């Protein structure tokens, strides 16, 4: 079975037509996820309660820290609360759209499910990265928005359209970069067979995003900016809203995102070349 050949789309279809096809397919995935969620309302409520508990646990250390001081490395309590809100939004989006898929990577490769995906007339990487959606996790996004607004109001941050655009671009870049990192780690299953612990490692590293980048030593800050770029998803957007950020980190985030997507695509194709059907 030539797996790489199955990955390539038919030559008679235009690139734009294929992209629109993927958009329509993703909309169908989302609609199916909503229907599934209506059948399991207990799951929705459980996810909401767990998310609120996690949010509370994220705020408590901030309240304890700022019970002894009004400012830490230029960050006030209200600004850190806003950061916790952004962190909750980002983790909620990852939990909704990315985690349900990348946590299945070992199953796809070891139980032969990838064989059926490769025969579909869509990008197999797209399918395996975005097929499953956990709609209940959007409750964490909603609670994160509430906490973000509370933090911004308490900090009396007045931001303009330019600052909002900066923050949105940075959050988008942060999500792309983090997804690329997790995808690259998951695609190692082509060679390692099992990567189940990787999701656990990724989510634990994500916890660093609850705190401003300046709270960490220089070496850790460098790691959280370039190797595991959670700073683009949490710290930088809040700094942008506060008016403390130039446009160069935004440009850097866009460039790094483009490079990361390219490298992950190359890694996926390289993995397909080494893949042999688990069901044959």
pLDDT value, residue 65? 81
pLDDT value, residue 199? 84
CA gap 28, 24 in Å, rounded = 6
- Decide: 258 and 177 in contact? Cβ < 8 Å: no
pLDDT value, residue 277? 66
Torsion of the alpha carbons at 194, 196, 199 and 204, rounded to the nearest 10: -110
What are the mean pLDDT values of the chain's consecutive 10-residue runs (280 residues total)?
47 66 88 82 78 82 83 91 95 94 83 82 88 90 93 88 95 97 89 79 92 95 95 96 92 97 94 73
pLDDT value, residue 256? 97
pLDDT value, residue 61? 85
pLDDT value, residue 6? 47
- Decide: 115 and 279 in contact? Cβ < 8 Å: yes
């Amino acid at each position: 079975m030539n797996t790489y050949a199955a990955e390539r789309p038919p030559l008679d279809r235009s690139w734009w037509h294929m992209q629109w096809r993927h958009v329509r397919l993703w909309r169908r995935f989302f609609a199916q996820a909503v229907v599934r969620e209506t059948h399991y309302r207990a799951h929705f409520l459980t996810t909401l309660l767990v998310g609120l508990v996690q949010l509370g646990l994220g705020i408590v250390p901030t309240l304890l820290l700022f019970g002894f001081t009004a400012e830490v490395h230029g960050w006030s309590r209200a600004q850190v609360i806003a950061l916790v809100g952004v962190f909750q939004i980002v983790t909620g989006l990852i939990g909704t759209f990315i985690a349900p898929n990348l946590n299945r990577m070992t199953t796809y490769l070891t139980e032969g499910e990838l064989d059926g995906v490769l025969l579909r007339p869509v990008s197999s990487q797209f399918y395996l990265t975005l097929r499953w959606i956990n709609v209940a996790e959007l409750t964490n996004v909603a609670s994160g928005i509430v906490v973000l607004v509370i933090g911004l109001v308490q900090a009396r941050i007045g931001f303009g359209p330019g600052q909002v655009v900066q923050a949105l671009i940075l959050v988008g870049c942060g999500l792309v970069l983090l997804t690329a990192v997790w995808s690259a780690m998951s695609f190692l299953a082509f060679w390692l067979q099992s990567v189940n612990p990787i999701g656990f490692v990724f989510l634990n590293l994500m916890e660093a995003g609850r705190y401003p980048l300046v709270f960490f030593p220089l070496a850790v800050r460098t790691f959280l900016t370039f190797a595991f770029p959670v700073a683009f998803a949490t710290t930088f957007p809040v700094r942008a809203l506060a008016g403390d950020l130039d446009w160069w980190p935004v440009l850097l985030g866009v460039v790094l995102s483009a490079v990361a997507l390219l490298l992950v695509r190359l890694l996926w194709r390289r993995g397909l070349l080494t893949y042999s059907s688990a069901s044959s």
